[in-house]
């Protein structure tokens, strides 16, 4: 035995290596994955039922070497899981889903309005607790019934999640209807800091259709299309109201977003369409004996490319143009602020600002915010002009 020690040790090592044959515990082939692109959450507070919708991509629905998909091939399938809590719902999904859930590439979370009103704290805890979930996806609220949103296709984009994602991207870059901080992690941070936040809301136009041929063979893009028109306002994990699209513009402008906005306002008696972009926003707090004054300085860059009604010809006209825009926007911002004060929403985050400067404490933050005086100073400058120096009269 001692003589053949080397042989025996080799045998022992080989036997130990047979562990490799146990076939890898975490191995998952790609065709065993259910690639989730969109997640929908609905909570029924009375019956305490949580419904989770997973929109799973059909991999054969995109063009590959096997050929292009048929016209009737559904690009996504929506599965529904019901349970008393998120964890239960997650387990119950396998009663109907034949593949392993793979949420790493999902592109948005859509929450129904009643779930948002009931409170999203449980959802947030669930998502953060799961080891492989990301919180860096947009959180959206559905204005239409969630069932309708999750079970309908969109024109032009085969995957509804693509429609949502691409649209949010375009809106973010080119307009002020959507901002940058609409992801779940921004939601968590804002809620934990006891401030308020706004997330886009999805509505639907036309009749929702779950049949791909209906959507892809209809010229009318208004049918079965989703639509961003409002914003949901959240405080303390609950939805407390909504903002119209126009109000969202002023909200995001005050947040410091760098998108552009087209605005029609009377200048010199005539309505003129102007395109403006925020260059810089600065918030200053001045201590005064009675109550603190918050001064918000806004620098805008104007572009007259859409101003088909009037193009300033002289410097005096341009100055008049700029002054009129200054005044108009200042009025709009002021009325927006009054609206938020009336509804008791601190959307400008005045309280937070005062706390930073030590002029308020966590206990009296709301009253301090309400009492503070807010002044807007807008300075618009005409930058780029359009393709014509003079319009056709």
Partner 1 sequence: MSRNDRHHVPPDLIQLVQRQLGFPPDLVIRTLQFWEGPPLQCMYLDTMADENAVDHYIQNMLSEGKLMEGAPAEAEEHGYIRELPFSSFHGDWVRHLVDAMLEGQCVIVDTNNERVCFLNAVSPIDRQTEEPKSETIVRGPHEGFTENIQANISLVRKRLKNPCLRFEKMQIGKQTRTTVMLAYLENLAPDGLVQEARRRLKAIRTESVLESAYIEEYVQDRTWSPFATLTNTERPDVLAAQLLEGKIAILIDGSPGALLAPVTFWEFFNSPEDYYQRADIATFIRWIRLISFFTAVFVPSLYVAATTFHQELIPPRLLISLSAQREGVPFPALFEVLLMEVVFEIIREAGLRMPRAIGQALSIVGAIVLGQAAVEAGLISAAIVIVVSITGITNFVVPVYSFGTTQRLLRFSFILLAGFMGLFGVLCGTLFLAAHLVTLKSFGVPYLTPISPTRKHGWKDVLVRLPRPHLDQTGLGYLRKTKYK
Partner 2 sequence: MISRWQFTLLINNFLLGTTLFVSIQALIQQTQQHAWIIPLWNGCLGLIVSVLWILLMRAHPGKTLAQILQEVWSRPVGTAIALLYFFHFSSIAGWVLHNMSDFMNGTIMRDTPKSVFHIMFLIVACYTVAQGAEGMARLNQLVTPFLFLPFWFVLLLAATINWNWERFLPVYPNEGWSSLFGNFAMLGYPFMETIALTMLYPYVKRSPGRAMVWGIGMAAVSISAILFMIIGLTGVERASRLTFPVYTVVQEVDIGETIVNVQSIISVVLLILIFIKLQVLIYGAHNILQQMFRPKTQWPHLLALTILVSALAVSIYENGVQNGEFIKQYLNLYFSFYGFFLPSLLLLSTWLKNAYRRRNHGNQRRGR
104 binds partner 1 (CB under 8 A): yes
Pairing of strands 108-112, 139-142: parallel
| Residue listed under structure tokens 């209906």 | 214
**18 vs 314, beta carbon nearer partner 1:** 18
Interacting partner of 339 out of partner 2, partner 1, none (Cβ under 5 to 8 A depending on kind): none
By CB under 8 A, is residue 134 in contact with partner 2?
yes
Options 3, 5, 6, 27; binder of partner 1; rule CB under 8 A: 27
Q: 81 and 99 in contact (C-beta within 8 Å)?
A: no
Q: Is residue 148 a contact partner of residue 186, using CB atoms and an 8 Å limit?
A: no
Residue 100 binds partner 2 (CB under 8 A):
no
* Residue 114 interacts with, from partner 2, partner 1, none (CB under 5-8 Å by kind): none
Paired tokens of 299: 């620098």
136 binds, among partner 1, partner 2, none (CB under 5 to 8 A by kind): partner 2
**363 forms part of the interface with partner 2 (CB under 8 A):** no
- Position 131 contacts partner 2 (CB under 8 A): yes
Query: Would you give the DSSP letter of residue 24?
Result: -
To which residue do tokens 């019956």 refer? 47
Instruction: Tell me the C-alpha distance between 36 and 137, whole Å.
Output: 13
Q: Which of 265, 248, 244 is nearest to 257 (CA)?
A: 248
The percent helix, strand, coil of the chain (3-state, each to 5) is 35, 30, 35
132, 136, 288, 314: residue in contact with partner 1 (rule CB under 8 A): 132
Distance CA 232, CA 242 (A): 4
Of 25-33, 44-52, 89-97, 244-252, the window that binds partner 1 (rule: CB under 8 A) is 25-33
Burial class (CB in 10 A: 0-12, 13-18, 19+), 385: middle
Q: For the segment 44-73, give every residue that binds partner 1 (CB under 8 A).
A: 57, 59-60, 62, 64-66
Q: How far is CA 278 from CA 56, 200, 330, 357, in A?
A: 39, 20, 13, 25
CB of 61 to partner 1, least distance (A): 8
Which positions from 206 through 245 interact with partner 2, judged by CB under 8 A? none
- Indicate the residue among 1 and 63 with the shorter CB distance to partner 1: 63
Bridge partners of residue 178, in order along the sequence: none
Angle (CA) 103-108-113 rounded to 5° is 120
What does the alpha-carbon distance between residue 393 and residue 391 come to, in Å, rounded to a whole number?
A: 6
157 binds partner 2 (CB under 8 A): no
Judged by CB under 8 A, the residue of 14, 18, 31, 393 near partner 1 is: 31
Contact range with partner 2 by CB under 8 A, out of 19-27, 39-47, 295-303, 376-384: 19-27
Most distant CA pair in the chain, distance: 109
184/372 with CB nearer partner 1: 184
Is residue 185 involved in binding partner 2 (CB under 8 A)?
yes
Q: Per the structure block, which two tokens stand in for 170?
A: 């375009």
Site for partner 1, rule CB under 8 A: 20, 24, 26-31, 33, 35, 57, 59-60, 62, 64-66, 102, 104-105, 132
List residues binding partner 2 (CB under 8 A). 19, 24-26, 104-105, 128, 131-132, 134-136, 185, 188-189, 192-193, 356, 358, 361-362
């Amino acid at each position: 035995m001692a003589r053949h020690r080397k042989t025996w040790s080799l045998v022992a090592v080989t036997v130990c290596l047979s562990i490799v044959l146990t076939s890898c515990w975490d191995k998952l082939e790609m065709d065993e994955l259910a690639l989730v692109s969109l997640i929908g959450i609905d909570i029924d507070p009375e019956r305490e039922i949580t419904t989770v919708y997973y929109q799973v991509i059909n991999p054969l629905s995109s063009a590959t070497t096997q050929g292009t998909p048929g016209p009737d091939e559904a690009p996504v399938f929506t599965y529904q899981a019901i349970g008393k809590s998120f964890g239960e719902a997650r387990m119950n999904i396998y009663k109907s889903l034949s593949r392993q859930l793979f949420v790493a590439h999902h592109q948005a979370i859509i929450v129904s309005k009643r779930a948002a009103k009931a409170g999203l704290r449980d959802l947030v805890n669930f998502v953060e607790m799961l080891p492989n979930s990301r919180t860096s996806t947009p959180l959206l609220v559905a204005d239409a019934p969630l069932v309708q949103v999750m079970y309908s296709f969109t024109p032009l984009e085969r995957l509804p999640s693509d429609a949502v994602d691409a649209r949010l991207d375009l809106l973010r870059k080119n307009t002020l209807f959507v901002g940058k901080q609409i992801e779940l992690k921004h939601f968590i941070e804002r809620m934990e800091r006891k401030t308020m936040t706004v997330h886009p809301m999805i509505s639907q136009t036309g009749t929702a259709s779950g049949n791909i041929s209906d959507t892809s063979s209809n010229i009318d893009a208004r049918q079965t299309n989703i639509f961003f028109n409002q914003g949901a306002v959240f405080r303390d994990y609950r939805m407390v109201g909504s903002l119209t699209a126009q109000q969202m513009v002023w909200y995001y402008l005050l947040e410091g977003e760098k998108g552009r906005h087209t605005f029609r306002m009377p200048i010199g008696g005539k309505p003129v369409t102007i395109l403006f972009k925020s260059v810089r926003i600065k918030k200053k707090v001045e201590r005064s004996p009675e109550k603190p004054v918050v001064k918000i300085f806004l620098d805008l860059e104007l572009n007259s490319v859409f101003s088909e009604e009037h193009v300033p010809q002289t410097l005096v006209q341009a100055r008049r143009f700029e002054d009129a825009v200054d005044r108009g926007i200042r009025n709009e911002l002021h009325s927006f602020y009054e609206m938020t004060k009336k509804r008791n929403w601190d959307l400008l985050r005045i309280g937070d600002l005062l706390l930073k400067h030590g002029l308020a404490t966590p206990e009296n933050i709301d009253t301090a915010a309400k009492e503070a005086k807010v002044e807007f100073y807008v300075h618009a400058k005409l930058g780029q002009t359009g393709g014509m120096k003079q319009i056709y009269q």
